[in-house]
A and B are shown apart, each in its own frame.
Chain A
Amino acid sequence: MLKMLFITFSIVWFAGILIPMLLNENQIDYYYFLKMLYSPVCHQNPEKSFFYNNFQLPVCARCFGIYLGLIIAIIGVQFNLRNKISLRFLSLSLLPMAIDVALYQLKIYTYNKIVSAFTGITFGSILFLFIFESITESVMEKNK
C-alpha cells in the first residue's frame, strides 16, 4: 500500500513537471500555478532550466534529472530489475553530481544542463532504488 502510494505520488509529481509541454499561450495561468507549486523545491533559475515551446519547465535541469531518474527506477522496478543497493554504491551515485556542483561553484567550467540532468538521473534512480529496497525490507520484516 505504502509502496503504491510512494510510486503514485512520484509519477504525479513528475507528470506535473511535464505539463508545461502540453500548454499553449492561452493557458498561462496554469503555467504560473505550476511554477508556484514547484518553487519551494527548486530555485527555477531560467539559465539552468530546460524550455519547451517557450515554456520553462518548473524545475531546473538537475532536479528534472533526479525526478526522471526516479521514473526510470520505477519502470525498472516494475520489470523486476532489482538489485541490492549498497551504501557505497549510493555514495558513488552522488559523486558525479557533487563533482559537477563543485566544478561549477569553483568556476572551473560553465553550467551545462545536459550534464546536470545526467548526474541527476544517476543519483535519482539509485536513490529511489535504495529507498524502495529499504521500504520493501521493512514491510517484509513487519509481515514476518
Chain B
Amino acid sequence: MKKYFPMLIAGFGAAVLSVIPILKGFSCCLLIPFASVMSLFLDIRVNKNLNRISLSKAILFGFLTGLFATIFIVKFDLIITFVAKTNDFVESLPQSEIIINQMNLGSFTEEPMKLMKSMADEIRTKGFSSLYAIMIFLSNFITNSIFGIIGGLVGMGIFNKKIGHFTE
C-alpha cells in the first residue's frame, strides 16, 4: 500500500488545486503532469528509491496519479454541486443553448439538449445527477490519464538525469 502513497498524495494535491477558480483552467495541462512528476519525486524521497525509473514505472505512476486525481476531482465537484445546488455546467447551460440554437443544427441537437436540461434540473432540485457524475468522471479520466502519463514520462527524464548525475 505504501508504494501507492506518492500517487495518492500527488493526485489529491492536484485535485485540491483544481478546485481553485483561476487554477481550474490549468487542471489538465499543467496540474496533472506536475502531479505525476511530484509522485515520482515523492517515491524517490519516501521510499528511498534511488534506482533509475523504468518506462513502465513512469507510465504506471502517471496513469495512477491521473486516476487518483480524477477520483478526487469528481468527488470535490459532486460535493460542491450538492451543497451549492449549482455548478459551472448549470450556470453556462442557458448561454450554451442560445449558441447551439443560433447554429441551426436542426433535430441533431434536440436529444442532447433535452438530456443536458434534465441534468441541470436534477442538479437544481436534488443537487446531484448520476448522468452528470458519469460524464465528468469519463471526461476527466480520459484527459487526466493521458496528461498524467505525459507527466510521468517527463518525470522519468528529469529524475533519471538527476540519478545518473549522482551515480556517475
Contact = CB atoms under 8 A, between A and B. Distances in A.
A2 B152 CA distance: 15
A138 B142 CA distance: 25
Contacts of A102: none
Contacts of B147: 41
Contacts of A28: 103, 105
Contacts of A29: 105, 108
B52 A141 contact: yes
A46 B72 CA distance: 30
Contacts of B25: 43
Q: Chain A CB within 10 Å — which of B52, B150, B157 has the most?
A: B157
B55 interface: yes
Range, interface on chain A:
20 to 34
B54 interface: yes
Contact of A134 (B29, B139, B146, B160): B160
Q: Chain A CB within 10 Å — which of B146, B160, B161 has the most?
A: B161
Given A40-B139, A40-B142, A43-B25, A131 B103 contact: no
Contacts of B87: none
B158 interface: yes
Nearest to A39: B139
Contacts of B58: 138
B153 interface: yes
Interface in A116-144: 127, 130-131, 133-135, 137-139, 141-142
Given A40-B140, A63-B29, A134-B156, 17 more contacts: A29-B105, A29-B108, A32-B105, A39-B139, A40-B28, A40-B142, A41-B29, A87-B161, A130-B154, A131-B157, A134-B154, A134-B157, A138-B52, A138-B53, A138-B160, A141-B52, A142-B54
- 4 closest Cβ pairs, A-B complex: A134-B157, A40-B143, A138-B55, A131-B153
Interface of A: 2, 28-29, 32, 39-41, 43, 63, 86-87, 127, 130-131, 133-135, 137-139, 141-142
